[in-house]
Structure 1
Amino acid sequence: MPGSRDLDPSSSPRALLGAELRHAREKAGLSQEELGQRLFVSGSFIGQLEAGTRRMQREYARLLDEVLGTGDFFQRNCGAAAKSKYPEHFAEAAEAEAQATAIREYAPLLIPGPLQTPAYTRAVCRAYQPTAPEEQIEELVAARMERVGLLDDPTEPLLWAVIDEAALRRVTGGSQVMAEALRHIADLAKRGRAIVQVLPFSAGAHAAMQGAIKLMDFADAPPLVYFEGVGTGRLEDDPATVKEQRFRYELLIASAFSPGDSMALIEGMAQDYAHEAHT
């Protein structure tokens, strides 16, 4: 049974909670699949809890305490692991993203979060919440910029983004903001920190017309797909669902411009936006 102490929120509470879960499960002589059956979830879901890529909800914490005989350990500590600076509907996905070894994303309406600049993010957040206090907007911008920091590492994660031409043509924050945003994308691609392809209008109908796709792979946990709508979102680990969305993403890659042609388009648009800003 895990110790009676509370987890230290200053460390990595989700990783610590996952390690304690693995210890308690193995002590009980249960496999991930066996424990998942008792909680009516998949074995891969248990693996993601143990790896820290999924958030432990209170209802699961209660069931884990009952099944594993850990008193109220998981119920007491899941609160610390659940604290997040991100909006509730996106928190679990953002925290999983931080541990991913590869992120593949199709963005139909806006530049993907890890590729955004502060000014672009600020314009998006203000559009989402036009009456929010300035300090609230700046908190959201700061949280988004932490996600951008994922690309500070020279090797991981692999970020492969397919951006719809509509996202590049929608002037968000003004021409100067768009020029800076597109130059930033081009710079990341040139430095080898992102593979970027543009899905042009000329591609016509495509495999993801109903929405965005975000696929995440991990070193020690099964892959995830994230579905997002306006103010809502959910992570899915069902292998068949992940496989289907990965196939859709591959179809998008086939329909998109090559990385080289995409950079030529993005840099040309950046120049056009800069010219508009000066005139």
Structure 2
Amino acid sequence: MEGETVELIRAQLRRLRQNAGLSQEDFGKLVHFSGSQVSALELGQRPADRHFLKRADEVLNTGGLLMSLLKMAELDRQPNYLRPWLEAERNARQLRCYHPTLIPGLLQTENYARAVIRADDMLSDDEVEKRVAIRLDRQAILGQQQPPKLVAVIEEAALRRVDEGFRGLMAQQITHLIECVERPHISVHVIPAEVSVHVGLAGPFTLARDGDGGWVGYLENQLGGTPVDKDEDVATLISRWESIRSEALPQRQSMLLMKEVMTSWS
């Protein structure tokens, strides 16, 4: 499937360029590439990167077609086991997310996401940027016309995990969280540090409810993650969610705590 999508990108690029009456040389000048580089891209001898396709969309006035196809190709590269969860996330009417150590991915800023992903020293710079782009693309569900209701629970410790070099990035991230909860479909609740032990510390997970009322879950781990769809396992996650949520502060108090964390740094 991935190869088919990549080939479709090349074919559409070639068709759009020709329909615009542009030679490879002329098109290259507009997108700041050489004619030979454009030829290599269209023949599949060189991969098309995000910068090139974004510029090509602008020059050819495609309405974002090429970038949309690239997003499809990037999602196709996700492991087979993850694709059902990505589909469930895209179609969810409700999302419930808990993470004991990090800000959940759907609420991360680009800089925070990049720092978290870059912590894996096995990834190349190019792979880091691809993963950041995919994470940000997944956040688009929160900005659609009928977004899902997202309720996230995080730990106070995740807000306070800073050093001198990380503080500006975290201030940006917490500001983003506060802006998110001003939207009617997003709630963020903080478990205060004095709650030292609870069932959620066993690990992060997310629950998604579709339009028919069915739930599926997703467990994050060191190897990526595991979708959960067995009824008894989903029921266990829902029960644990209720327990975790009961430990967290109400939204208004959570916002005050987030602001207090930032104030404490100055």
Q: TM-score range by the shorter chain?
A: 0.5 to 0.7
Match of residue 164 from structure 1: 155
Aligned mates of 1:166, 1:86 — CA distance in 2? 30
SS state at 2:123 partner: coil
Aligned mates of 1:214, 1:260 — CA distance in 2? 23
Match of residue 191 from structure 2: 199
| 1:81 shift after superposition | 10
Query: What letter corresponds to residue 170 of structure 1 in structure 2?
Result: R
| 2:86 is aligned with 1:105 | no
Query: What letter corresponds to residue 138 of structure 1 in structure 2?
Result: E
| 1:182 shift after superposition | 0.5
Match of residue 215 from structure 2: 223
Asked if 2 retains the 8 angstrom alpha-carbon contact of 1:112 and 1:161, the reply is yes
SS state at 2:194 partner: helix
Match of residue 121 from structure 1: 113
| 2:119 is aligned with 1:139 | no
Match of residue 233 from structure 2: 241
**Structure 2 vs 1, CA of residues 193 and 154 (structure 1 numbering), >3 Å: closer, same or farther?**
farther
Runs (5+) with no aligned partner, structure 2:
7-71
CA RMSD in angstroms, aligned pairs only: 2.6
**Structure 2 vs 1, CA of residues 184 and 86 (structure 1 numbering), >3 Å: closer, same or farther?**
farther
| 1:222 shift after superposition | 2.7
For 1:153, which of 144, 155, 164 is the aligned residue? 144
| 1:112 shift after superposition | 0.3
| Identical positions, percent | 32
Match of residue 48 from structure 1: none
Aligned mates of 1:195, 1:135 — CA distance in 2? 33
TM-score, with length taken from structure 2: 0.67
For 2:174, which of 179, 182, 188 is the aligned residue? 182
Query: What letter corresponds to residue 114 of structure 1 in structure 2?
Result: L
Runs (5+) with no aligned partner, structure 1:
1-7, 11-79
**Structure 2 vs 1, CA of residues 142 and 232 (structure 1 numbering), >3 Å: closer, same or farther?**
closer
Match of residue 204 from structure 2: 212
Asked if 1 retains the 8 angstrom alpha-carbon contact of 2:216 and 2:234, the reply is yes
Aligned mates of 1:152, 1:165 — CA distance in 2? 26
SS state at 1:202 partner: coil
| 1:240 shift after superposition | 1.8
| 1:236 shift after superposition | 1.5
Question: Aligned residues, how many?
Answer: 197
SS state at 1:203 partner: coil
TM-score, with length taken from structure 1: 0.64
Asked if 1 retains the 8 angstrom alpha-carbon contact of 2:98 and 2:154, the reply is yes
**Structure 2 vs 1, CA of residues 96 and 269 (structure 1 numbering), >3 Å: closer, same or farther?**
same
SS state at 2:147 partner: coil
**Structure 2 vs 1, CA of residues 192 and 272 (structure 1 numbering), >3 Å: closer, same or farther?**
farther
